[in-house]
Chains A and B, each alone.
Chain A
C-alpha cells in the first residue's frame, strides 16, 4: 500500500511531463484489479464463472429471512434435507445420499474441518447463530473448495465474522434473541487492530427448554422427548503479519431426546453433552514472487458424555439370556474423548501464466483418550464398565495437487487429485476434473467429474456392541459424481441456474439390518437436477426459488428416507432502506421407507415463515421479528424401522425476536 502510494505520488508529479509515468499507472491499476479479483475469488463472489457448483449464503440475506442458525440456513440450499439419528441428532442430507450415515458431508469452520472421528458428525455446531457468521459456502456433491477436505455428498464452509476474509474492517456488535420454548440467546463480536496485529473474537450463549410429546416408542412407552439445549462457544483469532491463530471452544448440553437406543428415558436428568475445541496456527510466507507457502498446525478434540436410562424399571430383557427382569431398569453411560493433531504444508504457485497450482501434504493423527461405556442395572449404584471402541487410533497422510488453468476469458479447466493413506482403511485415490465455458458474460456452462470417498467412522468400524454393532471389515464408501451445470444471468443480480448430476455410490454403510450391524450394504445410484431462480421482480422486491429432484436408489435398491421433490422459495419486499418483509416457503415431498418397513410413506409438508426486519442505520440497531411455521403445519421426519412408529414430529408455530447493535 505504502509502495503503491509513493508510486502514485511520483507518477502524478510527472504525469504531464513524462510518458513513462503511464507505465507506473498501468501497474497500479493492474495491482488493484489483481487485488480485488483475488478477494472476489476468496469470497466466492465470482462463483458463477468458476468450475464448481456452490451456493453462497451471506449474513445479510439470512438476516432478512429471519434465519436463526446454521442448521436453518442449510435448509435453504437446493437438495438439502434433514434426517434424525440416535439421541435426536439432526444431520443434513445432500441429494438423498445415504440418509443413514453421518460424515457424508463435511463441516469446515474458518478452514478447519470439525467432523469427529467417532461418528463423522458435526451436528453440535449446527445451532451456531448466524449473528457470528459472515458467509456460508455450500458445495453440493463431492467437490470441495479446500483441497485437503474430501467431501462426499457435500461440504459446508462457514466463514465467521471474526475471520472475515474480504479485507474490510471486522464488525463489533452485541446481539440477543428470544423465542418460543423459552429460547434465549446473547453474544458479542469484538475486534482490535493495532499496526499489523489483529485480534478478533465472538462469543454466544443460547438455551431453550423444548420437549416433544411422543405417543409410543420402540418399547411401547409414551412420554416426552426432552430436547432442551444449552449451547455456548467462544471463537478467538489473532493475526500478525503471516502468522494466524484460529480457535473455537464450544459446548453443547442437550436433553437425551429420542434416546440413544431409540427409546424414551424415564429419567428427566439424562443428557448428551458434547464439547469441541479446535486451535490452528498458520504461517504464510512467500518463497519467491508468486509462490506462496503455508504451514499449518492444528489440534481438535471432542468430549462426549451421555447418560441415558435405556430400559425402564421392571423391563424384561429379550436378548440372551432371555427373561431377566431389570427392577431398576438400565442406565447406559458414555465417557468418551478423542483428539486429532494435523500438520499441513501447502504451496500455491501463480507464477506460471494462466495457472493457479496448489500442492500440499497433510498428516493427521487421531486418538481416543477416554473410551468408557458403562451399564448400571441398580439405579447408578454400581457399573459394568466396557470399552466403547475396540481400537483407539487412526493415522492419515494426504497428498494433493490441483491446477486451475484459465485458457482464456471463455475457458477454464480444473484438474486435481488427492491420495490418502490410512493405517486402518485402504488407500484412496480421488481425481477431479472440471471444465467451465463462459460463452459470454451471461451464459456459463460447466462439466465436472469427481471421485471421492468416506472412510468408515469409528462407530461404524470399531464399536463394541452396545445396542449397535460393527463389522470389522468395512470398506470406505466411494462415489463417482458426474455433473453438468448451466447458468443464465439476465441482469446484474438475476440468474437461473440449472444443475444435473449422476452419482454412482459404492459400499454404502448403514445398520438397517435386523442385527443392527454397521456394514457395507451395497451400491446405489442417484440422479437428478436442481434449478435456482433469483430475480428482482421490482426495484424493491426480490424473489428466489429453488427446486430439486432426485431419483434412483440409495438403500437396498430403493430411494428411502428421501424426498424426490424439494422446493424452497422466498420473497423479500423492501419498503425503504430501514424496513423489509420476507416470506420463506419450504416444500418437502413424501419419503419412501426401506423395503421391510411396512408403514405408510412419510407425508410431504409445506411450511411458511414470515419475518420483518427493521434497521435503524444511525444507531446501528437491527430488529428482526419472525413467525415460523405460520400455519402450524404438523410434519414429521422419518424414524428408523422398529423405533418410533409415528416418526419424529417437528416444531409447529413458533416465534423469534432478535436484536443486534453494531458499533
Chain B
C-alpha cells in the first residue's frame, strides 16, 4: 500500500489534457483573427504572418500538433501572405522573439507571464488555449458552450491597445 501512496504522490511532471477538437478549431480560427488586426501589415516578418506557439517541454507535443494542423489547413499561405506557425520553447523565449501574434497553452506559471507581457507591450495578440486564462490577461480564446464562441477580454484589450476591424466585434464575445 505504501508503494501505491508513494507512486501517487511522487514528484510530479506537468501533464496537460488538451481537447483535440478545440485545438483544431483554434488552428483554423486564430490565423484568420490575426488578419483582423488593423495594423497587421506592420507586424509581418519577411512578409509573413508569424504565430509563435510558446510551450513548455510537456506542452511540446500539443504545440507540434497545433503547428501541424495550421500547416495542413493553410499550407503555409494565408491568401497571398505567408503563414508560419513557429514553435518556441518557453525556456528559449526572450523579448527579441519576433512574431505577429503569440499562442500559449497555460497562463498559470509565473514564467509564461513574460510572454503575455511581451505581447501586450508590443501590441501583439496573445491567444490562449484555455478561456479561463483571459483572467490572466490573455487577449483571445475559444470556448465551447451550446456553440463555439470567440472570447475577447475587454480589460486586456484596453491594455494591449490593439485595434481590430469593426467586423470582429460582430463575431467575438467581449468579456468584462
Interface residues of A (CB under 8 A from B): 8-13, 15-16, 22-23, 25-26, 28-30, 32-34, 36-37, 39-41, 43, 45-46, 49-50, 166-168, 406, 409, 412, 438, 441, 491-493, 538-542, 571, 573-577, 580-581, 583, 610, 617
User: Which residues of chain B are near A581, meaning CB under 8 Å?
Assistant: 7-8
| CB pair B24 A168 closer than 8 Å | yes
Supposing A23-B167, A493-B17, A576-B13 touch, asked if A13 and B79 sit within 8 A by C-beta, the answer is: yes
User: Which residues of chain B are near A575, meaning CB under 8 Å?
Assistant: 10, 12-13
Within 8 A of A (CB), among B123-155: 130-132, 143-150
**B41 in the interface, Cβ–Cβ < 8 Å?**
yes
User: Which residues of chain B are near A539, meaning CB under 8 Å?
Assistant: 12, 14-16
Tell me the smallest distance from the CB of A174 to a CB of chain B, in Å: 22
User: Which residues of chain A are near B4, meaning CB under 8 Å?
Assistant: 583, 610
Complexed CA–CA distance, A644 and B135 (Å): 61
**B90 in the interface, Cβ–Cβ < 8 Å?**
no
Within 8 A of A (CB), among B10-51: 10, 12-17, 19-21, 24-25, 28-29, 32-33, 35-36, 41
| CB pair A28 B32 closer than 8 Å | yes
**B87 in the interface, Cβ–Cβ < 8 Å?**
no
Complexed CA–CA distance, A406 and B35 (Å): 31
| CB pair B32 A40 closer than 8 Å | no
User: Which residues of chain A are near B15, meaning CB under 8 Å?
Assistant: 539-540, 574, 576-577, 580
Complexed CA–CA distance, A542 and B16 (Å): 11
User: Which residues of chain A are near B174, meaning CB under 8 Å?
Assistant: none
Supposing A16-B41, A49-B146 touch, asked if A26 and B167 sit within 8 A by C-beta, the answer is: yes
| CB pair A12 B78 closer than 8 Å | yes
| CB pair A45 B29 closer than 8 Å | no
B80 interface neighbour in A9, A39, A168, A574, Cβ under 8 Å: A9
Complexed CA–CA distance, A233 and B7 (Å): 38
Complexed CA–CA distance, A571 and B5 (Å): 12
| CB pair A43 B13 closer than 8 Å | no
24 contacts between A and B (CB under 8 A): A8-B32, A8-B78, A9-B79, A10-B79, A12-B78, A15-B35, A25-B167, A28-B32, A29-B29, A33-B147, A33-B149, A36-B24, A36-B28, A36-B29, A37-B148, A39-B21, A40-B148, A45-B144, A49-B145, A491-B132, A540-B12, A573-B8, A574-B15, A575-B12
| CB pair B24 A13 closer than 8 Å | no
| CB pair A29 B33 closer than 8 Å | yes
User: Which residues of chain A are near B170, meaning CB under 8 Å?
Assistant: 26
**B111 in the interface, Cβ–Cβ < 8 Å?**
no
- Which of A11, A29, A45, A581 has the most B CB atoms < 10 Å from its CB? A29
**B165 in the interface, Cβ–Cβ < 8 Å?**
yes
Interface SS of chain B: mixed
| CB pair B7 A40 closer than 8 Å | no
Interface residues of B (CB under 8 A from A): 4, 7-8, 10, 12-17, 19-21, 24-25, 28-29, 32-33, 35-36, 41, 58, 61, 78-81, 130-132, 143-150, 165, 167, 170-171
Interface SS of chain A: mixed
| CB pair A577 B61 closer than 8 Å | yes
Supposing A40-B148, A493-B17, A581-B7 touch, asked if A25 and B32 sit within 8 A by C-beta, the answer is: yes
| CB pair A37 B14 closer than 8 Å | no
Complexed CA–CA distance, A30 and B150 (Å): 10
User: Which residues of chain A are near B148, meaning CB under 8 Å?
Assistant: 33, 36-37, 40
Tell me the smallest distance from the CB of B77 to a CB of chain A, in Å: 8
Tell me the smallest distance from the CB of A262 to a CB of chain B, in Å: 40
User: Which residues of chain B are near A10, meaning CB under 8 Å?
Assistant: 79
| CB pair B146 A43 closer than 8 Å | no
User: Which residues of chain A are near B165, meaning CB under 8 Å?
Assistant: 22
| CB pair B79 A11 closer than 8 Å | yes
User: Which residues of chain B are near A32, meaning CB under 8 Å?
Assistant: 25, 28-29, 32
| CB pair B21 A12 closer than 8 Å | no
Tell me the smallest distance from the CB of A65 to a CB of chain B, in Å: 14
- Which of B24, B146, B170, B171 has the most A CB atoms < 10 Å from its CB? B146
Complexed CA–CA distance, A406 and B145 (Å): 12
Complexed CA–CA distance, A538 and B16 (Å): 11
Tell me the smallest distance from the CB of A59 to a CB of chain B, in Å: 12
Complexed CA–CA distance, A581 and B3 (Å): 12
Tell me the smallest distance from the CB of A540 to a CB of chain B, in Å: 4
Tell me the smallest distance from the CB of B151 to a CB of chain A, in Å: 9
Complexed CA–CA distance, A540 and B7 (Å): 12
User: Which residues of chain B are near A33, meaning CB under 8 Å?
Assistant: 29, 147-150, 171
| CB pair B80 A13 closer than 8 Å | yes
| CB pair B35 A12 closer than 8 Å | yes
| CB pair A540 B13 closer than 8 Å | yes
Complexed CA–CA distance, A644 and B10 (Å): 47
Tell me the smallest distance from the CB of B67 to a CB of chain A, in Å: 16
- Beyond A9-B80, A40-B147, A46-B147, 14 extra complex contacts between A and B, CB < 8 Å: A12-B80, A29-B29, A34-B147, A37-B147, A46-B144, A438-B146, A441-B143, A540-B14, A542-B17, A571-B8, A575-B12, A576-B15, A577-B15, A577-B61
